[in-house]
Amino acid sequence: MAIKGSPRGRRTQYAAFGVALIIFYLLYSPWTSRAHLESVRLTKFMNSVDETHHIDFAPSSFNWSNVKHKYAVDDEALAQVPFSKFARLPRVQFKFPAETLEQRQQREYKRQQVRNTFVRDWEAYRKFAWMKDALLPVSGGYRDQFSGWAATLVDSLDTLWIMGLKTEFEEAVAAVAKIDFGQSTSDNVNTFETNIRYMGGLLSAYDLSKRPVLLAKAIELGDLLYGAFNTENRMPVDFISLEQAKTGEGLMVEPSVVSAGPGTLSLEMTRLSQVTGDPKYYNAVSGVMNLFFRNQNKTKIPGLWPKMVSMSGKDVSSGNVFTLGGCADSLYEYLPKMHGLLQGAEPIYSTMSRGFMNAANEHLFFRPMVPSQEDLLISGNADYLGDGEVQLDPQSEHLTCFIGGTFALAGRLLNQPGDIELGAKLTRGCMYAYKSMPSGVGPERWNMVACASRDGCEWSEARWGQEKKRRLELNEHLPKGFTSVSDPRYILRPEAIESVFVLYRITGRQEFQDAAWDMFLAVRNATRTQYASGSVPDVTKPVDTSNNEDYMESFWLAETLKYFYLAFSPPDLISLDDYVLNTEAHPFLRPR
C-alpha cells in the first residue's frame, strides 16, 4: 500500500489526477463516443488507480462497449435514473436494544459456527475447483455450468468481505481481474443467471469494498448483458449467442420464457447505471418493467402475471397458470426492492407491489390444516379455469419461501403494517415445513390441505387421509398435514432462511433468530460431505449423508450461509436501511 507523501504514493496520485482530467475531457467532448470513454476507463483508469492494490487488470478479449447495435437507442433519448434527494422512505429495521454480555457471547458463538462452515467449503472450492463455476463436494472435482467465469468465486465475493475474510477476498479479487468475458465455455449465455450471480456479485463487492477493478469488470459484463436488448422490440433475449452478439446485427427474442427471466434484470442494471452514471442500462430494463406495469391488471388474475410470457410478442397477460414460486418468483421480489433502490422516485414499483400483494393474498395464500392448529400461511399456485373461475392448487415449494421476507420488506417500505404480519405467517409456514421433517430440513416441493377459512382450522384425520389418497405420489411416512412431498430433495436453497433473516431484522422477534439456529444445525448436519456440502436426496427420512449429491451450488456460499451468518450478526452489518439485496443475496447500496 502506498504511503501518503512517498514517491510511489505521489506517482499514484498524479496518475489518478491525469486520468481524471482525461475522463473529464472525454465526458464533455462532443466528438467522444461512449465506447471510447469506456475503453479509457477500463485501461488507463484501472492500470493507474488500482496500482495501490497490486492488481493486474486484464481486459476481456472482446470489448463489448465497441459493438454497434443494430437496434440502438439514441443517446439523447436516454432518461437519467430517477432520484429525489428529498425522498425519505420509512425505516425498515427494528430498533434493537443493547445486548447483555451473555446474549452477545451466545450470538457470536452461533455466528462463528456458520463462518466455520463457510470457510471449510470455501477452502474445498479453492483446492479443487478454483476459477471454475462449481465444486463437486463428494469427489473433489468441478463443473462449469455458467459460462466458465468462476461463478462460485464471483458469487462469494461479498460473503468473503462480510465475514471478514479479507485475505481470501484479496486473492479472489485478483482472480476476478483476469476473467475473460469475451469468451465462454458455452455458445449461449444465460441472461438471468449471468445477471444475478455474476453482475450481482461484482456490483455488491464493489459497493462494499470500493475496489475499482470490480466495477471495471461489472462494466464489461454490463455491456455484454446490454447486448441482450439488441432486438427489434428492445425486449431481452433469454440466452445470448456470444458470436452473434459480437456482430451487433441483433438477436431474436424467444417466443416463450418464464416471467422471472425478463422480470429479474432491473435491480442489477439500475445499480450499474447508478454507480457509473451511464443511464443506458437502466433505460434498457425500464422498457421491460413498463410492459409488465401496463399489463398488470389485464391478466386472467389482475395483479399477477402468468408464469410464462412472450417477449417476442410483448405478451405478459394471456397465460392461465400463476405462481410466486419457480419461474416467476424474483419478478415479484424485485418490485418492492426497486422501490427501495430508487428511494420511491419511480411510482410504478409501489403500484405493482401493492397490486401483486393484494392478488396473491386473495388467490394464492392458504392456511394449511395441521395437528397443532398453528396460524400459518402457505403460498400455493392458481389456475384460471375460465369465466372468472380461479382454482387454488395447494402445492408449495422451497423457492416460494422468499415471499414472507418480501411481504415484510414491502410492508415496511410501503407503510403497510398488515403485510408485515402476513409475511410473518408465511415465514412460519416455511419454518413449519423444516421442523416437521425427520431431517429438520424443508423439501423442494410439497402439498398440504388447505383450510376452508383462515379464521380457524380444526385438525381432521379423515380429511388428511382423503387428501393423501388423491395424490399420485403417496408417501405413508409423511408427517401429519403433508399430503405429498413430490420432490423431497434439499438442494442447498436459501429462501427459507432468507425470510427468517428478514423477519428478524424487521420485527426483532426472537422466535426468528431461534428458528435460524435450529435450521442451521439441521442443514449443516444433513448436507455435510467429505469435502464440503452437497444436496440432500430425501429430507423426509432420517439423515444419511452418504447419498448426498456431488454438486455444490454457488448460491450455497453466496446466499444460504450468508443469510445464516447475518441472522447472528449485529444488526448494523448489511442493514436493510442501507442496502437492498438482490435475488442472489448480493447487497446494493441504497443511494442517499
Residues tagged active-site = 193, 329, 444, 495
Sign of CA dihedral 557, 558, 561, 565: positive
Enter the C-alpha cell of residue 530: 467429505
Q: What's the length of the chain?
A: 592
The DSSP secondary structure of 235-262, one letter per residue, reads PPPSEEEHHHHHHTS--PPPS-EETHHH
**Grid cell 402439498 in the structure block, residue:** 447
Alpha carbon 341 to its chain centroid, in Å, reads: 14
Q: Whole-angstrom Cα distance, residue 99 to residue 102?
A: 8
Q: Please give the helix or strand (H or E) that residue 395 lies within, else none.
A: strand 395-397
Helix 166-176 × helix 200-209 angle, to 10°:
130
Q: Whole-angstrom Cα distance, residue 333 to residue 260?
A: 10
Burial label for 252, CB within 10 Å (0-12, 13-18, 19+), is exposed
Give CA angle at 517 (516, 519), nearest 5°.
Answer: 65
Q: Give me the phi and psi of 488, to 5 degrees please.
A: -85, 5
**Contact criterion met (CB below 8 Å) for 317 and 310:** no
**Contact criterion met (CB below 8 Å) for 374 and 425:** no
Q: Whole-angstrom Cα distance, residue 522 to residue 518?
A: 6
Q: Whole-angstrom Cα distance, residue 211 to residue 445?
A: 40
**Contact criterion met (CB below 8 Å) for 295 and 310:** no
Among 573, 513, 526, 577, residue whose Cα is nearest residue 159: 573
Among 391, 398, 396, 369, residue whose Cα is nearest residue 456: 369
Among 546, 555, 543, 427, residue whose Cα is nearest residue 491: 555
**Contacts of 101 by beta carbon, 8 Å cutoff, 6+ apart:** none
Q: How far apart are the first and last CA of the chain?
A: 30
Q: Whole-angstrom Cα distance, residue 426 to residue 403?
A: 7
Instruction: Flag whether 583 is marked binding.
Output: yes
* Residue 195 identity (one-letter amino acid): N
CA distances from 420 to 79, 512, 582 (A): 34, 14, 20
Q: Whole-angstrom Cα distance, residue 351 to residue 409?
A: 15
**Contact criterion met (CB below 8 Å) for 380 and 393:** yes
Residue 195 is classified by DSSP as I
Q: Give me the phi and psi of 375, to 5 degrees please.
A: -85, 85
**Contact criterion met (CB below 8 Å) for 118 and 557:** yes
Burial label for 180, CB within 10 Å (0-12, 13-18, 19+), is middle
Residue 459 is classified by DSSP as -
Cite the annotated binding site for Ca(2+) by residue number. Answer: 583
Cite the annotated binding site by residue number. Answer: 583
